[in-house]
Amino acid sequence: MSLSSRWSRGAELLGCEHAILGGAMSWVSERHLVAALSDAGAFGVIAASSMPPELLEKEIIETKKLTQKPFGVNLILMHPQLAELVAVCARLKVSHVVLAGGIPSAATVKSLKDYGAKVLCFAPSAIIARKLVRLGTDALIIEGAEAGGHIGPVSTSVLAQEILPQMRDVPVFVAGGIGRGEVIAAYLDMGAAGVQLGTRFVCASESIAHENFKQAFIRAASRDAQISVQADPDFPVIPVRALANRASDDFTRFQHEVIGKFRRGEMEKKEAQLAIEHFWAGALRLAVIDGDVDRGSVMAGQSVGLVERVQPVKEIIAELIAQAEAYYAGRSAA
């Protein structure tokens, strides 16, 4: 069985040649990288992140000018203007929407499907995967703790073992720690319909990430991508995986400062929690756009150790495919 036949279900759902989703990375997954991924036969996804509706609308329009191929939009469920963002996607006929950051409401899923979008959601467990399917989700993404940015507690390999054998109702894409084609081939053999990669594409030629940001990836070892520390159990934070630097220490200090203000009655608890959560938004832009990889947040998955140089997206995709095909060929010859 060929690689194309193994991921045909995922490719058909996405409407592309290769069932490789581009992970939605704030400030990185914008029109240039998204269009390059889709033009290379993969599937680009715009990271809406904290964008207001008018900015997302502009980004979608500009992406459509760069590629005629399908692409998607990643929406964060906790966004205060989620309904307006959904309306933008509907008005501009975005073919695929990835919902991240929790379990969506039935109304949100319905509003997307009503205009014809395919809906993809993240499933952190088999129980939630089944719930998402009942809600009408068209495909699932299982992302392990090896990924960059905000992460869950379970590794990719364990999630794959838990969910792939059980979930046949909808296509399942595997994400987190994937940097070579051989592991793509292995997950496809386990039942995955495709994969999602983010870290591997940060150093694409088409990525607008600052050169300092890209060089930090190229220099880094896998162990340098570490999980942020939670300072106080009364103030839980979603863990973030990033390259260890001054920003990592700043985040710990910032938590203590904000929590101290709450303890002294200078801040409400909700205000303090929001301040802690918002720390990374500005820190990420500082690193990705401004190139300050010391004080900014260099979010990266553990596969960063496999990133060796700046390459065009088409070259990266071709490498991954060649590695996967060589894996299958070698096994057939054995």
Q: What is the CATH number of the domain that holds 318?
A: 3.20.20.70
- Overall average pLDDT of the 65-91 stretch: 97
- Overall average pLDDT of the 219-242 stretch: 92
Question: Both 113 and 260 in a single domain?
Answer: no
Question: Both 98 and 231 in a single domain?
Answer: no
Query: Within a domain: residue 216?
Result: no
Contacts of 328 (CB under 8 A, 6+ apart): 1, 2, 3, 185
Question: Both 197 and 257 in a single domain?
Answer: no
Query: Within a domain: residue 16?
Result: yes
pLDDT band for position 334 (cuts 50, 70, 90): low
- Overall average pLDDT of the 41-50 stretch: 96
The pLDDT score that the predictor gives to residue 179 is 97
Lowest mean pLDDT among 4-18, 240-254, 302-316: 240-254
Query: Within a domain: residue 214?
Result: no
The pLDDT score that the predictor gives to residue 270 is 86
| Helical spans, DSSP H, in the chain | 3-6, 8-14, 31-39, 53-66, 82-91, 106-114, 126-135, 156-163, 181-190, 199-202, 211-219, 246-263, 269-288, 313-333
- Overall average pLDDT of the 220-226 stretch: 97
- Overall average pLDDT of the 94-105 stretch: 96
Rg, the chain, Cα only: 19
Return the number of other C-beta atoms located less than 10 Å from residue 91's C-beta.
Answer: 12
- For the cut 70, the answer to whether the pLDDT of residue 296 exceeds it is yes
Query: Within a domain: residue 180?
Result: yes
Query: Within a domain: residue 181?
Result: yes
Buried-exposed string 137-153: b where 16+ CB fall within 10 A, e elsewhere: bbbbbbbbbbbbbbbbe
Question: Both 237 and 129 in a single domain?
Answer: no
Question: Both 47 and 190 in a single domain?
Answer: yes
Whole-number Å distance between alpha carbons of 79 and 101 = 9
Question: Both 320 and 184 in a single domain?
Answer: yes
Which residue segment(s) compose the domain that 133 sits in? Answer: 3-208+306-333
- Overall average pLDDT of the 308-315 stretch: 98
pLDDT tens, position by position, 313-324:
999 999 999 999
| Nearest one of 38, 326, 17, 20 to 173, comparing CA atoms | 20
Question: Both 169 and 242 in a single domain?
Answer: no
- Overall average pLDDT of the 45-57 stretch: 96
Query: Within a domain: residue 215?
Result: no
The pLDDT score that the predictor gives to residue 94 is 98
Question: Both 111 and 179 in a single domain?
Answer: yes
Total count of domains within the chain: 2
- Overall average pLDDT of the 28-42 stretch: 98
Q: What is the pTM of this model?
A: 0.94
Whole-number Å distance between alpha carbons of 91 and 58 = 12
- Overall average pLDDT of the 289-310 stretch: 97
Query: Within a domain: residue 283?
Result: yes
Question: Both 186 and 313 in a single domain?
Answer: yes
pLDDT tens, position by position, 241-251:
999 999 988 88
Lowest mean pLDDT among 44-53, 126-135, 140-149, 267-276: 267-276
Question: Both 263 and 156 in a single domain?
Answer: no
Question: Both 188 and 57 in a single domain?
Answer: yes
Query: Within a domain: residue 213?
Result: no
| Residue that has been written with the tokens 């319905």 in this structure | 110
Residue pair 18/42 in contact (Cβ under 8 Å)? The answer is yes
Question: Both 124 and 241 in a single domain?
Answer: no
- Enumerate the β-bridge partners of residue 72: 45, 96
